Each structure stands twice: as C-alpha cells, then as structure tokens.
Structure 1
Amino acid sequence: MLAVTVALRISQREADAAEARRRADKMEAEQLRRADKNEAEERQRAEKAERELSQARLVVAVIDYPSPEQEIARRPGDEDVIFVRITNYSESHIFHPRVEGFVHQNGGTVTWDIVEWDESGYEGPPDVLPTGQTDKIPVNPTFDPPITSDMYPMRTKVIFGYTDVAGRRWRRIGQATPERVYPEGTFQIGGPYWYRADS
C-alpha cells in the first residue's frame, strides 16, 4: 500500500512538472508571438514614415534671382526682389505651400514681404499645388545685419511649409530633411499676415 501511495505521489509530481513546463512553453511562445508582432508593427511604422518622408523630400524650394534684363528694367526706388520657387515633384497634390522665412547667414534676423515685380503682379498663394507644378513668389527679404547680394546663392536658405495629401503639415529649411509640423506649430513663422497658411 505504501509503495502504491509513493508511486501515485511521484506520478502526480511528474504530472505537475509537465504541466508547469507546458505553461512555461506556452507563455514563452506567446511572448515570442507578441515580440514578433511588435517588431512587425514597428517595421511597418518605420517603412510608412520613410515613404512619407521620401515624398516630402520631393517638394523643394529654391531662390531665383532677377535676370539682367529685369535688373535693367527696374525703376529707381524699386525694391530688391528675389523669387522663391516652390516645386512639387511628389506623386500627389500638396496644399497651402508657403514661404515661412529665411535663415540669416550670420545669425541675425530676416523680415520680408511679397512684392509685385511685373505688370501682372503675384496672384497670391495657391490652395493646391498639383504634382509637377511650381509657385513662384516674389519677395524682398531684409537682413539685419545686412548682407551683400552675392551672398544669396552661397548661403541663403528658404524656410517653407506645405500640407500633404494626407493632411500632414511639413516644414523644410533649404534642402535639409523635412520635419513634421504638429497643430501647435502649424502656423508659419514669418511673412505678411494675408499670406499665411491656415493648415
């Protein structure tokens, strides 16, 4: 009888140990499954963010300078004018493209306004800029302290923003990597009030 009791106890301990191993194996498998799922979700988020950023890089702004003919045609007292071209090379339309400012080469401040260069003038900022299209904005930045005109091509950087087709607002400084702008930073940082983007 004692032998039978001992055998039953040993059998129960073995069964309990097997159940504990089964539970441990199940828990480990669940943890691995969750880790794999989290890794896959993180990879998907990273890939999505990279796709968004790759499209954001395809919206560019460059500075154009008046041609010699335009310089000759300027009247005394005309303002100094440069042109900022915002071009959408991405696959989708963008919305509310705006110049937001300029980087001062020597750490100073830059104020600016939009001016009329020719008889037609500037028609105003577009609400939508289709793929492959350009908005050309005539502006007259004032640098404090002043810089010489020959410094523009070398070092002047345009700050500009736009909203993509998914409603994300982006800001870019020169050719640097675009950055997302969230609601608290949506409004642009410079320029005439009427020109500013609402979203």
Structure 2
Amino acid sequence: MPEGTAGGRLSPAMKNSVLTAVVVAGAAVALAGCASQDAQSQPDAPGTVTSTVIVHDDGAPPPPVEPVADGPCPYLASELVEQVNGQRLGDVRVGDDEPHPSCFFSRPDGGDQLTVRVFVGEPQTAKALVDEQAPVDASQLAEVDGGWSGGRISGDDGSVFAVYKEEAAVVVWTNQQQSFPAQTIAETVIADLAL
C-alpha cells in the first residue's frame, strides 16, 4: 500500500494536500482563460502607428531643413515674394522635405531674404516646430483664419511668423524687421495649399 493510506484510503493530511492542489490548479486554469479572453477583446495597444508619418513622441520639433536644389518654389511665386517683401530676388532654392519642400529666397547679393517651411506630420511635432521658431515667452500671438495659431517675432535680424493647425505648421522668416510680410506669405501659402 502506498504511504499515507490506510486500507486504500487517503489520510486526512493527504486529502488536504490533494484538495489544495485541485483548487490551485482549477484557479490557474480559470485565470488563464480569463486572461486569454481579455487579450482577445482588447483593442490594439495605444501608440500603434499605422501611417507613414514620422512620430516624435516627445513633441520634439522636426530637424532643420537645408536647401539642396535650385528652385522654383512649387507653391509660392517669386514675383509675389518680391512684391510682399519689397526686395529684388536672387536665387531660389528648395529643401528635400515632403510633401511641400521648404523654399529659400535670397537677395541679389546672395544674402538670405525669406524662407518658408511647411510641415505636415504629427500634431505635437507641428506645434513643437512653431514653439521652437516663435517661443510663447518671446513672441506675440499670431493667428490666421480657420483655426491657425502660433506666434510672431520682430527684431533687427528679421522677423518670424509661425502658426500651426492640427498636423500642419507654416513658418515664414523674412529679413524685414516687421512681421507683416511674413504673415502675408504664410496666409497665402495656407490658402494656396488648402491646408
């Protein structure tokens, strides 16, 4: 006869051990079933990205863009820039950012005259770009009809007009000390690109 049995029956200590093992095993099976069911009924984990947009989770601005090719600017006429900014143009160069390349307009002597950057991506990145170019504590409120908001800065080295709405941002820098030319260009770009 096996140890712990008397006449083929389990001793009270063995009964308690077996009963405890059955209860524990049953609870484990039940919990495993619940966990499996919960995992199947849960939606996709938050933070899953299904588009091709680059995500900057920390709300960092996108990296700077440099001119890489000769223009023209695909969404802003050089004649309009000359008229609004009040200076003759030299070269026009474009960046390689997508979907709308940044445009760099120079003076005839080669100095910088006006730069336009259009960003389309994650909303927190668009806002971070505007905050970087026109920080709240150093700028005045800037708005464009349709829900665009950001800041404007005017100074001896030029001025910036930067606004964002949802996933898009438009930043214009001009060598003019007043920000009104930059604002006019930003409003034109927003309207022409139907952002």
TM-score by length of 2: 0.31
- Larger RCO: Structure 1 or Structure 2 (Cα < 8 Å, ≥ 6 residues apart)? 1
